[in-house]
Amino acid sequence: ASLPESRSRRTGERVARIDYFFSLLSPFTYLAGTRLEEIAVRHGATIAYKPYDILALFDRLGTPRPADRPQGRKDYRVQELRRMAAKTGMAINLKPMFWPTNAAPASYAVIAAGKAAGGDMGALVHSLLRAAWAEEKDIAEDAVINECLKAAGFDPSLSFTGMLSGAEAYAANLEEAQARGVFGSPFYITDGDERFWGQDRLEDLDLH
């Protein structure tokens, strides 16, 4: 975010912001890759990373969890993921060994990293998603989280030191997501409350 901020200081122009609500359990979020970050760089926008508990949100909204959905919808989801993976050229395991897992610890680490700065947030989020959906790793494990933090240029100890504040922010993100009309992942909200749901809406976000 340093480039947009410095440009704003020089010119006085307002910096665009994208509030990014997402779950590390979502394969559709994984298939977004780092396209959001590319869009932000292209337009000089900042990204506020807001991981939240999507299963808790589903329960609040009365939306069936993936395991409880009608079989036809389950079958369609698998086909969609297969087609999207082929379209983006990304590897994906449609039946990962560690899913669903507890996404909270990794989400706490993402929140702590965002506060610490100094690393690559997009790389961190994508590496955690890739670990879950392409590398058969359990993102609830400390070793996996620490590896992703280090690879993205962050202090691996953030997974421990940022746990308390991360838990508080994770809960707050859920409340904010519900209040702002979020109902899935990935979900992008821009200045002016323009909302975009799904990695297949990134082109529309870019155009906006």
The pLDDT tens digits of the residues spanning 151-182 come to 999 999 998 998 899 999 999 999 999 999 99
Parallel, antiparallel, or unpaired for β 187-190 and 46-51? Answer: unpaired
Q: What is the pLDDT of residue 162?
A: 86
Q: How far apart are CA 120 and CA 203, in angstroms?
A: 22
> In the predicted model, is pLDDT for residue 9 greater than 90?
no
Predicted TM-score of the model (pTM)? 0.92
> In the predicted model, is pLDDT for residue 26 greater than 90?
yes
> In the predicted model, is pLDDT for residue 10 greater than 50?
no
Confidence band, pLDDT 50/70/90 cuts, at residue 21: very high
- Between the alpha carbon of residue 49 and those of residues 15, 41, 68, 99, 161, the distances in Å are 16, 15, 28, 22, 19
